[in-house]
Amino acid sequence: MATAPKEDTPAKPSNFLRAIIERDLEAGTYAGRLWAGSPGDAAHHAAGQPDPARLRTRFPPEPNGYLHIGHAKSICLNFGLARDHGGVCHLRFDDTNPEKEEQEFVDAIIEMVQWLGFDWQAHGSSHLYYASNYFDFMYRAAESLIERGLAYVDEQSAEQMRANRGDFNTPGTDSPFRGRTPAENLARFREMRDGLHADGAMVLRAKIDMASPNINLRDPAIYRIKRAHHHNTGDRWCIYPMYTYAHPIEDALECITHSFCTLEFEDQRPFYDWLLERLAEAGLLAHPLPKQYEFGRLNLTYVMTSKRKLKALVDEAVVGGWDDPRMPTLAGLRRRGYTPESVRRMAEETGASKHNIWVDYSVLDVALRDHLEGVAPRAMAVLDPLPLKLSNWAEVFGAGHRESCQAPAHPHRPELGLRRFELGPEVWIERDDFAETPPKGFFRLFPGNKVRLKYGMVVECTGSEKDAEGRITAVLARVVPDTKSGTPGADAVKVKGTITWLSVHDAVAAELRLFDRLFVEEQPEAGGRDFHDSLNPASLRVVSGYVEASVAAAAPDDKFQFERHGYFVADRKDHTAGRPVINRITGLKESWAK
Ligand code: ATP
Ligand code: MG
């Protein structure tokens, strides 16, 4: 396995999250919890039943873009760990930021989680949730903090607040508004809610410790004023909770036990615990509270995994859209032809690590080949066509004769049956299967040499035709009678080379999209480089070739192994039987190190 992590990580990262779950299940940490059948506060769950789920995890995307291969890692971990331990994984839209979120992204995320093979139905109900449905509770929780002197409205300007936060070496300075009474703060906060203050005029901050060595505990902002239309709650709110405040509450209302997130949230964990404990003290939430655990992000070489930067590629028309087959989005990978099996396997084999890891892109290709090798029907295709004319055809068979040929749809799966095609007087071959003067070790077509047309007959090359510029326009050969594959005479003439081909009369013209990596650098942004500078100008080559009739008849998303060429898929958007459009997923073996 070419897993090749690039940082100081073991070659085969273990899955320490699994160990945490097993430890908790053994200790009974989450046994006896109550679950009311839907998210809610302590009172809501207190009226519920013992939770039928032994543990609860969640995948919490913000619906501000399309999912990418990094999210697949998180999806497979969260859904996979829950499934493996009798738990339930929620799909939760973390839609607390009104400005960047759209229904289009919600729909696309649902579609891709299902495509990966996961769902959120369990114990007779759907566990698809929207954080914005918790805005009422979040507001109530904020008032509770204020009433207990644990939050205050700060009217410093953003610059003052930043300056007074201090830094790693300097403790912060108290805001002049920090000493306000709970009653004053409550009145002010309600004015914020009621739209009496301008956007950005003030924020609500948790009152913790301006001298904390963890800057995240220096009175973090928890609510801001923002007049923005929200895709779910419309214009009902003009104040919105900050992510760091909203997320722990979302977890707690959903009775999440294990909240797995990526490493950049490690410094937020103390606030996560602080907030939930304070709300439990007030009776708003019940113990046991969710716990946050961080794992390393998955980075794939030659790929960028950041929604924001992928959006830039789309907006700047570097690619054709979110589902461009060169994109590391799940929509792009699906359109390229990667299967859910291959993506899940990549996620599994890369484990869960406490460091951000770089995984070699080839891991995905290896998983894809392993999956498709056993299931994809075989077919022939000619990607760089050159005519081969069999000059003695009429003499041997009669001008109108067509020889019917057959080949197994899959060499090891007879139940998939046979493919049939015909051999005629003129066939398409690959341009590089002919050489006027053969280099050493070249066993294919050159004047005087014999090769087998695979599943067809042996032909002997006699020469070629050229245009005025000297470019070869056709190869000339004679068919050798009585050498048809599968007949007793087939072995009478020994050849060293076998080539793929398609008859001019029954091949179907196809658009073949040959993709290469989008970036030429393993780490497109390493050393602070602008990713635009690492773009591969030749990441897409579109060629006009030919495919077997069986391929033209394929449904969108059908996958094939083209003999000698690799794995291909009928494009899910553009392919039709009348105008085949075929994407190359990957070659038969690793060929990137060109
Ligand atoms: P991006 O930076 O691309 O916007 P994000 O982390 O902001 O990603 P979210 O929608 O918040 O995107 O992510 C949903 C979940 O997916 C989070 O729990 C996040 O930690 C996880 N996730 C995102 N990228 C990766 C990655 N590269 N590897 C593992 N998990 C990831
Ligand atoms: Mg994000």
Taking the model in full, what pTM does it have?
0.92
Same domain for 142 and 249, yes or no, is no
Q: In whole angstroms, what is the distance from residue 204 CA to residue 191 CA?
A: 12
| Closest-lying ligand 1 atom to the alpha carbon of residue 310 | 3
What is the b/e burial string over 182-198, where b = at least 16 CB atoms within 10 angstroms of the residue's CB? beebbebbeebbeeebe
Same domain for 283 and 190, yes or no, is no
Q: How far is the CA of 34 from the centre of ligand 2 (A)?
A: 31
User: Is the pLDDT confidence value at 8 over 90?
Assistant: no
Give the model's confidence band at 2: pLDDT under 50 very low, under 70 low, under 90 confident, else very high. Answer: very low
- pLDDT at residue 100 in the model: 77
| Closest-lying ligand 1 atom to the alpha carbon of residue 299 | 27
What angle do the packed helices 243-253 and 135-147 form, to 10 degrees? Answer: 110
- pLDDT at residue 14 in the model: 66
Q: What is the CATH number of the domain that holds 100?
A: 3.40.50.620
Locate 286 and state its tokens.
Answer: 């019940």
Closest ligand by atom to 65 CA: 1
Amino acid type, 210: M
Amino acid type, 362: S
What is the b/e burial string over 531-540, where b = at least 16 CB atoms within 10 angstroms of the residue's CB? beebbbeebb
Cα–chain center distance at 587: 20
- pLDDT at residue 377 in the model: 96
Taking Cα atoms as reference points, which of 116, 115, 586, 4 lies closest to residue 347?
116
Same domain for 93 and 120, yes or no, is yes
- pLDDT at residue 591 in the model: 63
Same domain for 385 and 495, yes or no, is yes
- pLDDT at residue 218 in the model: 98
Q: In whole angstroms, what is the distance from residue 364 CA to residue 334 CA?
A: 13
Q: How far is the CA of 78 from the centre of ligand 2 (A)?
A: 17
Mean pLDDT on 118-143: 97
Q: In whole angstroms, what is the distance from residue 447 CA to residue 427 CA?
A: 17
Same domain for 387 and 266, yes or no, is no
100 in active site: no
The residue to which tokens 């405040």 are assigned: 245
Is the CB of residue 195 less than 8 Å from the CB of residue 238? yes
User: Is the pLDDT confidence value at 593 over 50?
Assistant: no
- pLDDT at residue 332 in the model: 98
Is the CB of residue 248 less than 8 Å from the CB of residue 33? no
Same domain for 480 and 524, yes or no, is no
Closest ligand by atom to 61 CA: 1
Give 15's strand partners. 352
Give the model's confidence band at 590: pLDDT under 50 very low, under 70 low, under 90 confident, else very high. Answer: confident
Probe ligand 1: pick from 69, 74, 310, max atoms within 8 Å of CB? Answer: 74
Same domain for 195 and 284, yes or no, is no
Give the model's confidence band at 441: pLDDT under 50 very low, under 70 low, under 90 confident, else very high. Answer: very high
- pLDDT at residue 103 in the model: 87
Taking Cα atoms as reference points, which of 549, 547, 550 lies closest to residue 582?
547
Give 584's strand partners. 568
Which of 506, 523, 550 is where one domain is finished?
506
- pLDDT, one tens digit per residue, over 63-117 is 999 999 999 999 999 999 999 999 999 999 999 998 877 889 999 999 999 999 9
Q: How many CB atoms lie within 10 A of CB 80?
A: 20
Give 543's strand partners. 512
Q: How many CB atoms lie within 10 A of CB 379?
A: 25
- pLDDT at residue 275 in the model: 98
Ligand 1: residues whose CB is within 6 Å? 60-62, 70-71, 73-74, 261-262, 297-298, 305-307
Is residue 431, in this structure, part of any structural domain at all?
yes
What is the b/e burial string over 312-321, where b = at least 16 CB atoms within 10 angstroms of the residue's CB? ebbeeebbbe
User: Is the pLDDT confidence value at 16 over 60?
Assistant: yes
Q: How many CB atoms lie within 10 A of CB 25?
A: 17
589 in active site: no
- Residue 394: φ, ψ to 5°: -60, -40
Is residue 560, in this structure, part of any structural domain at all?
yes
Which of 206, 222, 241 is where one domain is finished?
241
Is the CB of residue 31 less than 8 Å from the CB of residue 272? no
Is residue 9, in this structure, part of any structural domain at all?
no
- pLDDT at residue 101 in the model: 72
Q: How many CB atoms lie within 10 A of CB 486?
A: 9
User: Is the pLDDT confidence value at 5 over 70?
Assistant: no
Mean pLDDT on 376-403: 97
Q: How many CB atoms lie within 10 A of CB 44?
A: 17
Ranges of beta strands (E only) in 4-95 are 34-35, 49-50, 56-59, 88-93
Residue nearest to atom 15 of ligand 1 (CA): 61
Three-state DSSP state, 512: strand
Which of 506, 535, 567 is where one domain is finished?
506
Give the model's confidence band at 398: pLDDT under 50 very low, under 70 low, under 90 confident, else very high. Answer: very high
Q: In whole angstroms, what is the distance from residue 444 CA to residue 434 CA?
A: 6
Task: List Cα–Cα distances, 156 to 176, 220, 303, in angstroms.
Answer: 8, 13, 41
Burial of 270 (0-12, 13-18, 19+ CB in 10 A): middle
Ranges of beta strands (E only) in 18-68 are 34-35, 49-50, 56-59
What is the b/e burial string over 54-72, where b = at least 16 CB atoms within 10 angstroms of the residue's CB? bbbbbbbbbbbbbbbbbbb
The whole-chain average pLDDT of the chain stands at: 94
Is residue 8, in this structure, part of any structural domain at all?
no
Please pick, among 205, 297, 334, 450, the residue that the annotation labels catalytic.
Answer: 297
Q: In whole angstroms, what is the distance from residue 342 CA to residue 478 CA?
A: 45
Is residue 7, in this structure, part of any structural domain at all?
no
DSSP state of 329: B
307 in active site: yes
Locate 235 and state its tokens.
Answer: 């214009």
Three-state DSSP state, 294: strand
Closest ligand by atom to 307 CA: 1
Least confident residue range of 353-357, 407-411, 587-591: 587-591
Is residue 286, in this structure, part of any structural domain at all?
yes
Q: Which residues, by Cβ under 5 Å, contact ligand 2, an ion?
A: 62
Q: How far is the CA of 55 from the centre of ligand 2 (A)?
A: 25
| Closest-lying ligand 1 atom to the alpha carbon of residue 262 | 20
Amino acid type, 530: D
Cα–chain center distance at 255: 28
For residue 115, the enclosing domain spans 16-132+244-298
The share of the chain scoring above pLDDT 90, in percent, equals: 91
| Closest-lying ligand 1 atom to the alpha carbon of residue 307 | 3
Same domain for 313 and 184, yes or no, is no
Is residue 10, in this structure, part of any structural domain at all?
no
Cα–chain center distance at 127: 22
Is residue 388, in this structure, part of any structural domain at all?
yes
Same domain for 453 and 533, yes or no, is no
Give the Cα-Cα-Cα angle 396, 401, 405 (nearest 5 degrees).
100
Please pick, among 18, 62, 311, 564, the residue that the annotation labels catalytic.
Answer: 62
- pLDDT, one tens digit per residue, over 156-193 is 999 999 999 999 999 999 999 999 999 999 999 999 99
Q: How many CB atoms lie within 10 A of CB 329?
A: 28
Q: In whole angstroms, what is the distance from residue 550 CA to residue 384 CA?
A: 19
Domain count for the chain: 4
User: Is the pLDDT confidence value at 18 over 50?
Assistant: yes
Locate 582 and state its tokens.
Answer: 């075929």
Q: How far is the CA of 62 from the centre of ligand 2 (A)?
A: 6
Same domain for 390 and 369, yes or no, is no
Give 90's strand partners. 58
Same domain for 331 and 357, yes or no, is yes
Mean pLDDT on 480-507: 93
- pLDDT at residue 13 in the model: 46
